[in-house]
Chain A
Amino acid sequence: MHAHFLDPYRPRISPIHALDPRIKFVLAVACILTAALMPLGAWAAYLLLFAVVLSVIILSELGVRYVLGRSALAFPFVLAALPLVLTAGPPLLAELPLGPWTLQVSQDGVVRFASIAVKSWISVQAAIVLSASTSFPDLLVAMRAVRVPRLLVAIFGLMWRYLFVLADEVLRLIRARAARSGESGEPGRRVGGSLAWRARVTGGMAGNLFLRALERGDRIYLAMAARGYDGEVRHFPLPPLAGRHWFTLAGGMALLAVLLVVSLLNG
């Protein structure tokens, strides 16, 4: 059992995959920022931004269904904004009787809630395209280019390298627990001990994992030291950006700026 399924990177041959990771990273963040800056209820502008993102998804060859399917993952959080519908105040759109209470659906609240949901959904799609079309080492290059501290980038790199090893370790721990615990075929029959007991077993697994990780970290350090590691993180210099990269970046930024202006004028 191996945990490569964790890696969301899907290699394809597409212009989006071929784009320099630095440009992609900056444009994805700019797209999310644009969505956040758009005023509430600017439906026309949301549609245009969605059209742009959808075009990028199609160009990326990732499959529209794949991206839209994954974007549904972010939906549970929308519940946090749902109360807006009922509390934003007059003018009221509808009144629903619910037992002893009356739910007052406010027009303002509906607009706000729908705007937040749509903006969030577009942002998630942009982030999915970024992570599915860029391998993690490329994302590290992008992070260095936007001046994330060097040590932090090095830690990210090491974390990614061992994430799969430790996820495998967790899967083994879970399988071992399942193997040791009896399971009843009788439906509804509880097996194992009390809640506290089950939590304690899981806690023991967490402690065990932590210990193994700590020891592995020490071994990795020794192996690195044996190969000349002296605490200094050395990277290859970033390759220079060609003219067409700058052109793509400027074009993308200009498009987003136009959409933002449209949304502000129409908001």
Chain B
Amino acid sequence: MLASPVPMHIPDGFLSVLVALFFWAATAIVVAYALKRVNTDLGERQVPLMGVLAACIFAGQMLNFNVAAGTSGHLVGAALATIMLGPWASILIMTCVIAVQGLIFQDGGLLAMGANIFNMGIVATAVAYATYRLVARLSGGRAGGMLAAAFLSAWASIVVTSLAVGLQLALSGTSPANLAIPAMGGVHLLIGIGEGLITVGAVSFLRATRRDMLEQGTAPVRGGRGILVAGLALALALAVVSPLASADPDGLEWFAEQQHFTNRQVQSPIKLIPDYRLPGIGSEAAATIASGVVGMLIVFGAAGATAYIRRNRKNLPAH
């Protein structure tokens, strides 16, 4: 129920250390600023309100509906939070949701958490905000325009976020650019529709019950123009860079190679098990099998010893 069918939470091991640390740094700066902004807006109401709303988005991701044979759509929520509360609060809420998902439910890694928050918190919010403001303004505040804006902002936030994930994977050299980016983008063109429909349902419900709140949430904020520009720039950059990168992966792969200094073969002075073949055994296949067996013996030896020590400890009389 909690495992997200939307493969956007990057686990540990899939990002190169440099990429992971870079996005941790970028995320830390933006989240620190968002904390400050929300604090000036909400003051002492910040902690209770943000805490409960983060719990709400987290729990809201359990809401799902059948799409077709066995697959179901569910909510991510960045767009809904942005539409209702403005961009800074949404970044903060999504940060809390993703942090708890990673820390408690292993939905996304710890080292990769910076990148996950960057994608699903910052990129998704900025894109949703920019799309919503633009479409809502173009439609002149009519009801249909507002719902169209809600749908498009939710859909765009999912699609652009998935492009960011694909790009990060390609940069880390864990997935080839010409496959990862079109695959992520393509799948999420469809998944985004589910998110868009749910967001429209939520916004039309809130429009009918609490129109005052909806207007308050989408009122222009100080610094909102910056986010609008940033969101558009991110969306455009990812929409332009990704096809380029996927059509001509060499450039990106060259960049990834430069980063992958640890992947270079290090000529080793000592070999634990030389070339994974035990010395003194003739046949190559037999040697490979033998080194595998030695490896397993190491693992089970360590595990067995630990279990043995623990059992002995347990058998001691209680003091």
- How far, in whole Å, are A47 and B297 apart by their CA atoms in the complex? 10
Q: Please tell me which one of the listed residues A40, A87, A139, A165 contacts residue B176 in the complex, with CB atoms under 8 A apart.
A: A87
**Beyond A87-B179, A123-B109, is A198–B266 a contact (Cβ under 8 Å)?**
no
Check B174–A199 contact: CB distance below 8 A: no
Q: A58-B307, A76-B3, A210-B60 are in contact. List 5 more A-B contacts (CB 8 A).
A: A8-B105, A77-B9, A156-B96, A163-B55, A267-B265
Taken residue by residue from 59 to 93, chain B's Cβ proximity to chain A (1 for < 8 Å, 0 otherwise) reads as 11011111110000101010010001000000010
* Contact yes or no, A48 B202, CB < 8 A: no
A186 at the interface (CB under 8 A from B): no
Produce 1/0 per residue, A34-65, CB < 8 A to B.
01111110011101101110110011010000
Residue of B nearest to A149 (CB): B35
Chain A residue numbers with a CB within 8 Å of B51 are: 154-159, 161-162, 217
Q: For the complex, give the distance between the alpha carbons of A205 and B198 in Å.
A: 9
B164 CB within 8 Å of chain A: no
Instruction: Tell which of B125-133, B226-234, B267-275 binds the partner.
Output: B267-275
Is B135 an interface residue when CB atoms closer than 8 A count as contact? Answer: no
> Which residue of B58, B173, B197, B209 contacts A199 across the interface (Cβ within 8 Å)?
B197
Scoring A6, A47, A84, A208 by chain B CB atoms within 10 A of each residue's CB, the highest score goes to A47
**Taking the nearest CB of chain A, how far is it from the CB of B298, in angstroms?**
6
Can you report 17 residue pairs joining A to B where beta carbons are below 8 Å apart? A39-B266, A54-B302, A55-B303, A81-B169, A87-B179, A123-B12, A127-B12, A149-B32, A149-B35, A155-B54, A166-B52, A195-B67, A199-B73, A209-B56, A211-B206, A221-B44, A265-B266
A257 interface hit (Cβ, 8 Å)? no
B186 at interface by CB-CB < 8 Å: no
**Which residues of A lie under 8 Å from residue B47 when comparing CB positions?**
151, 154-155, 158, 231, 233
Contact across chains for A151 and B204 when beta carbons are under 8 A apart: no
Closest chain-A Cβ to B315's Cβ sits at a distance in Å of: 15
Given contacts A35-B13, A127-B106, contact A55 B306 (CB under 8 A): yes
A8 touches B12 (CB 8 A): no
Write the chain A residue with the least CB distance to B180. A80
Whether A124 lies near B202 (C-beta < 8 A) is: no
From the candidates A48, A116, A170, A264, name the one contacting B62 in the complex (CB within 8 A).
A170
Known A8-B105, A43-B295; judge A163-B58 contact (CB<8 A): yes
Chain A residues, Cβ within 8 Å of B178:
87
A149 to B30, CA, bound (A): 13
The answer to whether the Cβ of A204 comes within 8 Å of any Cβ in the partner chain is yes
Q: A36 to B20, alpha carbons, bound, how many Å? A: 10
The answer to whether A231 touches B44, judged by C-beta atoms less than 8 angstroms apart, is yes
Q: Which residue of chain A is the closest to B15 with respect to CB atoms?
A: A36
- Is there a chain A Cβ closer than 8 Å to B210's Cβ? yes
Task: Judge whether B56 and A210 touch: CB under 8 Å.
Answer: yes
Q: Which residues of A contact B199 (CB under 8 A)?
A: 203, 206
Does B254 have its Cβ within 8 Å of any Cβ on chain A?
no
- Max chain A Cβ within 10 angstroms of own Cβ: one of B56, B77, B105, B270: B56
Q: Decide yes or no whether B283 CB sits under 8 A from chain A.
A: no
Query: Are A170 and B266 in contact, CB atoms less than 8 angstroms apart?
Result: no
CB atoms of B176 and A167 under 8 A apart = no
Q: Closest approach, in angstroms, between the C-beta of B253 and any C-beta of chain A?
A: 10
- Select A210's contact among B32, B202, B301, beta carbons within 8 Å: B202
Contact with B along A61-87 (1 / 0, CB 8 A): 100000000110110110111011001
Instruction: Assess whether A206 is in contact with B35, with CB atoms less than 8 Å apart.
Output: no
Cross-interface CB contact of A203 among B202, B266, B272, cutoff 8 Å? B202
B37 to chain A, nearest CB (A): 12
Interface string of B90-110 (1 = CB under 8 A from A): 001001100110111110011
B172 and chain A: residue at smallest CB distance: A116
Asked if B26 is at the interface of the complex by the 8 Å CB criterion, the answer is no
| A262 on the B face (CB < 8 A) | yes
Q: A47, A59, A120: which contacts B14 (Cβ < 8 A)?
A: A120
| Chain B residues positioned under 8 Å from A207 (CB to CB) | 201-206, 209
**Which of A36, A44, A47, A264 is in CB contact (< 8 Å) with B13?**
A36
Q: Which 8 A-B pairs have the closest CB atoms?
A: A203-B201, A158-B51, A231-B44, A120-B13, A199-B197, A213-B56, A207-B205, A123-B12
Q: Is B285 an interface residue (CB 8 A)?
A: no
Given the known interface contacts A119-B13, A264-B266, the answer about A44 and B100 at a Cβ–Cβ threshold of 8 Å is no
